[in-house]
């Protein structure tokens, strides 16, 4: 189960992913968004790196024992994705996202819309 909440007044995790074996919590937004909106250029080694307070937390139940780990957010760079899209359009590379991945994401987005419409949790299976 994936949850996201843009209207919560308390600082909750921005994303919560629940599965049979554990839970992943991720606070904060994409670290690229605010600098881009502020007109900053995506340059330098620090671009797309998340602040440590926004790293994710993974809690697993391993053979009856609770294990918690902090996971550093992988740096993002929108430019890389769009370079891959351009290469695919030119026929120089495969698309950066496969058709089955697109279909899976569409199912997740539709479940999110349904969840909002019906104000309930919608289960999504991979």
Q: What is the CATH number of the domain that holds 3?
A: 3.30.360.10
pLDDT at site 60: 95
In total, how many domains does the chain have?
A: 2
> Both 41 and 70 in a single domain?
yes
Q: What share of the chain is helix, strand, coil (3-state, %, to 5)?
A: 30, 20, 45
pLDDT tens-digit readout, 82-93: 999 999 999 999
State whether 90 and 49 are in the same domain. no
Closest listed residue to residue 2, CA positions, set 122, 117, 97: 122
Domain that holds residue 41: 1-76
pLDDT in tens, 55-83: 999 999 888 899 999 999 998 888 899 99
């Amino acid at each position: 189960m994936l949850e996201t909440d843009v209207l919560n007044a308390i600082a909750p995790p921005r994303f919560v992913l629940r599965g049979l074996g554990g839970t992943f919590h991720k606070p904060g937004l994409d670290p690229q968004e605010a600098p881009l909106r502020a007109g900053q250029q995506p340059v330098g080694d620090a671009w797309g790196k998340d602040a440590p307070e926004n790293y994710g937390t993974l809690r697993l139940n391993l053979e009856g024992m609770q294990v918690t780990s902090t996971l550093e957010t992988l740096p993002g760079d929108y430019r890389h994705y769009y370079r891959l899209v351009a290469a695919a359009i030119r026929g120089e590379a495969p698309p950066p996202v496969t058709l089955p991945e697109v279909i899976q994401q569409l199912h997740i987005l539709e479940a999110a819309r349904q969840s909002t419409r019906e104000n309930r949790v919608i289960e999504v299976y991979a």
